[in-house]
Structure 1
């Protein structure tokens, strides 16, 4: 994972340690093809899933599955096979195969690892998703309410309890950059490290300054 015309340091901040594996790294990708269109009143289907498997599956088998993408797929000779670029290329190759169908390919969602995925849409927009986990204790309550009001609203959740959270950071662009990933490795790594340091194994109501004056709910945690 590297851009030949970039320096080693530029590749490192963009792609992380993976850029040093110049002879490749392996992934078990999972691709989802999302279609939109009218439901056939006779069959009750948007499109026969067998058609998706046949048409999209042929592209996947011939150009992506068990391939060294940098060498075996011409699309990635000069373009790094980031998860965003692979999702985009899958869309570009599969969408025309359904030009004769009422259902149209709306998006390709590609999972690269449990922590990283991307979605490429028919309007050329793209999302990059990064997941991370943390464990924390909390009391579900609002500092603006009395003890009795909190108990009436949140019930037993007002007592101290813990959760194992799985959070997703989603970055969106209407114009994919091509060579560069949607979010640079160094910035994502620093961001997730900072969030984990702040939230992991904490009493959220007491240890996180923002929740001393804000309701401690999952919605508030998401906004934070």
Structure 2
């Protein structure tokens, strides 16, 4: 088994806010991230796939195909968007990095399997200090 990573970057805005809570409770829990005018991040998405090397190509999966899938299905939709309002696969969902990583997994997993590989991990760096990793569990 061999593992391959692909990195993509995107910028997006969001607001952490629970509509069932008061403004005070939202500020207490989410701080400035609950700002009604939203805030943004420069995210780094790292997708790790795994599989056996194809003896005919020397690849687990062609990285050109992986790049195209990630961009078309995920980052083209996320880049310069508002996660709370603009992204179809985030409609009605909490816009935390954790939820975003899970939703990205749901999109990428079947696409990668069509190419004979397995999705191993989705890592989403929200800042240089904060990151989420999801293994599909």
What is the TM-score normalised by the length of structure 1? 0.50
The 2-side partners of 1:16 and 1:114 are apart by 19
Structure 2: how far apart are the matches of 1:39 and 1:9?
A: 54
Larger Rg: 1 or 2?
A: 1
Alignment-derived partner of residue 217 in structure 1: none
Q: CA deviation at 1:39?
A: 1.4
Alignment of 1:1-224 (within 5 A): 1-19=16-34, 21-123=35-137
SS of the counterpart of 1:26? strand
RMSD over aligned Cα atoms: 1.7
Cα shift at 1:103:
0.7
Q: Which runs of 5+ in 2 are unaligned?
A: 1-15
Q: Distance in 2 between matches of 1:74 and 1:54?
A: 19
> Offset at 1:14?
3.0
Tell me which residue corresponds to 2:8: none
The higher-RCO structure (CA 8 Å, 6+ apart) is 2
Deviation at 1:4, TM superposition (A): 0.9
Q: Which has the higher strand share?
A: 2
Listed as ranges, the gaps of 5+ residues in structure 1 are 124-224
> TM-score scaled by structure 2?
0.79
Aligned length: 122
- Moved segments of 4+, more than 3 Å: 74-77
Give how far 1:62 is off. Answer: 3.5
Distance 1:74 1:13 in 2: 29
Once residues 89 and 30 of structure 2 are traced to their aligned partners in structure 1, the CA distance between those partners, rounded to angstroms, is 19
Matched position secondary structure for 1:87? helix
How much has 1:17 moved relative to structure 2? 1.9
Query: Partners in 2 of 1:112 and 1:38 — Cα distance?
Result: 31
Question: Is the 8 Å Cα contact of residues 102 and 136 (structure 2) preserved in structure 1?
Answer: no
Matches of 1:62 and 1:12, distance apart in 2: 31
* Structure whose residues are more often helix by fraction: 1
Distance change >3 Å, CA 11–CA 76, structure 1 → 2: farther
